[in-house]
């Protein structure tokens, strides 16, 4: 089964991107974690753009989600909320349904357990608009125990996707 992994940060050396790469290496047997790096290519959400057909970047985003059993999002907190590129990506899915009842895990690579929670809360609220099934909503602390916690996150996603 395929788990689509999306980083909310567009930075090349993002800690959240590193978390997703580690998740790809630690994926349970029978699961493949595939990194989607197309948020940067999405036009700003505007339904008028679909009048002449769905823009190719949007179609690629929707297709990647449709082909996946679950979604794993790792994102930083920007201004106590989620990054604009990630919000824009979700906005493109509100009317099309790819996230409806999709198993989703949301996390943030953090140095301290108390960091990133406001951003994850804002992301969870946004995902409620598409009726996603959030199975994980907590940061993963970088450092001692990182791999064990990441394995637990992946087990939770795999369990949710198999139901």
Full DSSP string of 17-41: HHHHHHHHHHPPTT-EEEEE--GGG
C-alpha angle 86-32-62 in degrees, rounded to nearest 5: 40
pLDDT by residue for the chain (163 residues), tens only, comes to: 999 999 999 999 999 999 999 999 999 999 999 999 999 999 999 999 999 999 999 999 999 999 999 999 999 999 999 999 999 999 999 999 999 999 999 999 998 888 899 999 999 999 999 999 999 999 999 999 999 999 999 999 999 998 7
Phi-psi region of 143 (alpha: psi -120 to 50; beta: other; left: phi over 0): left
**Is residue 109 a contact partner of residue 139, using CB atoms and an 8 Å limit?**
yes
Determine how many CB atoms are found less than 10 A away from the CB of residue 140: 25
Domains and CATH numbers, the chain: 2-162 (3.40.50.360)
Phi-psi region of 137 (alpha: psi -120 to 50; beta: other; left: phi over 0): beta
pLDDT at 58: 98
CA 11 to chain centre: 15
C-alpha 9/C-alpha 149 separation (Å) is 21
pTM tops 0.75, yes or no: yes
Tokens, residue 88: 């824009």
Residues 6+ apart with CB under 8 A from 128: none
């Amino acid at each position: 089964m395929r788990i689509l992994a999306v980083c909310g940060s567009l930075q090349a050396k993002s800690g959240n991107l590193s978390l997703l790469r580690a998740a790809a290496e630690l994926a349970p047997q029978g699961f493949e974690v595939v990194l989607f790096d197309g948020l940067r290519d999405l036009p700003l959400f505007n339904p008028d753009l679909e009048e002449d057909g769905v823009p190719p970047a949007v179609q690629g985003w929707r297709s990647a989600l449709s082909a996946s059993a679950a979604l794993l999002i790792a994102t930083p907190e920007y201004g106590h909320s989620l990054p604009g590129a990630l919000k824009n990506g979700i906005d493109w899915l509100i009317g099309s349904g790819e996230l409806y009842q999709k198993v989703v895990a949301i996390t943030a690579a953090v140095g301290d357990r108390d960091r990133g929670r406001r951003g994850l809360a804002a992301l969870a609220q946004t995902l409620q608009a598409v009726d996603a099934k959030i199975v994980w909503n907590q940061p993963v602390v970088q450092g001692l125990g990182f791999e064990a916690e990441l394995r637990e996150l992946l087990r939770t996603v795999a369990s949710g996707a198999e139901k």
